[in-house]
Amino acid sequence: MKMYTVAVLGATGAVGQEMIKILEERNFPVGKLVPLASARSAGKTLRFKGEDVTIGLACEQAFEGVDIVLGAAENDIAKQFAPAIVKAGAVFVDNSSAFRLDPDVPLIVPEVNAQDVKNHKGIISNPNCSTIITVTAVNALNAISPIKAMTASTYQAVSGAGAGGPVELMKEVEALGAGTTYEPKIFPYQIAYNLIPQIGGEQVDGYTSEEMKLQNEGRKIMHLPEMKVACTCVRVPVVRSHSISVSLHFDVPVTVEQARQAIANAPGCKLVDDLSKKQYPMPLDTTDQDLVFVGRIRPDLTDDCGLTLWCCGDQVRKGAATNCVQIAELLIQE
């Protein structure tokens, strides 16, 4: 088996650490791991396959001899190093939003549009976490009848805001229990026992940047350039795993039984849908694994060609790190 030199840009962050964990879990053929980070972390070590690996400094020269770079850094870092990565002959699988809507950069969810990988020119983008979870859940239904529109509400865990999100939630809970206060630093308001119906800044007509991602990225991934999406993104006091309520509007009716059968057989999905037995997707059940759980499938009472469903997925794994590693797996298959 051919072995590959794999770099992880942003190796010490939450997603970077998860990428390294998943490379090992999935037995990706890593001949050499090259973890890269800022000067603050360079020289430290991390564990990979039972050995200590030294973290290198992220710089243009660090990509020489690398086959695949998994990006777990912010947009500005991704843009800074992308030219050097491509010049070095590596393929950059980037988790940031820097290149997602670039027409020359494939935007990939392997269960949905794996064939688009072959169109890359050195850079492949990983979609937004909620977009990945949603399109994985609904793609099998799109194959039955094209999706014209979606109305969605996302319920996004605090870890989606980074490692500080869960810390802030816990500190607020502790403070409230002790009768004291904790000044929010990560979120604009207290998140404990609260919901915050804004993620991202305003982008268009009162919709935030996070809310527009489901339409803009979903169109590209699913090859549905006319699909319309109305989305509301809400931060909720859940530690991990995002949940999405979706109403789908099709060209022709799709029955509940058709939908259940399609989702039960869809790659990357697990059907959890029995209301009488109180079986439905929940964040606790989907944490630290890679399937998107789908349930609460029912007719949309406002649209004869509509269905409504509920899905949950781990946004750190399938919504970020695992999807990147799956894309890398597609590359080595090519």
Q: Give catalytic residues, as residue numbers.
A: 129, 242
C-alpha 279/C-alpha 2 separation (Å) is: 43
List C-alpha distances in Å: 246 to 137, 150, 234, 322. Answer: 10, 7, 14, 23
Sequential DSSP letters for 188-225: SS--TT--B---S-EEETTEEHHHHHHHHHHHHHHT-T
How many C-beta neighbours within 10 Å does residue 171 have?
16
C-alpha 47/C-alpha 57 separation (Å) is: 17
Element (H, E) at 284: helix 283-286
C-alpha 28/C-alpha 4 separation (Å) is: 9
- β-bridge pairing 269-271 and 4-9: unpaired
C-alpha 95/C-alpha 75 separation (Å) is: 9
| Contacts for 199 with CB less than 8 Å, ≥ 6 apart | 154, 156, 160, 208, 210, 211, 233, 234, 235
Q: Tokens 């976490």 sit at which residue?
A: 129
C-alpha 250/C-alpha 24 separation (Å) is: 40
Map residue 172 onto helix, strand or coil. helix
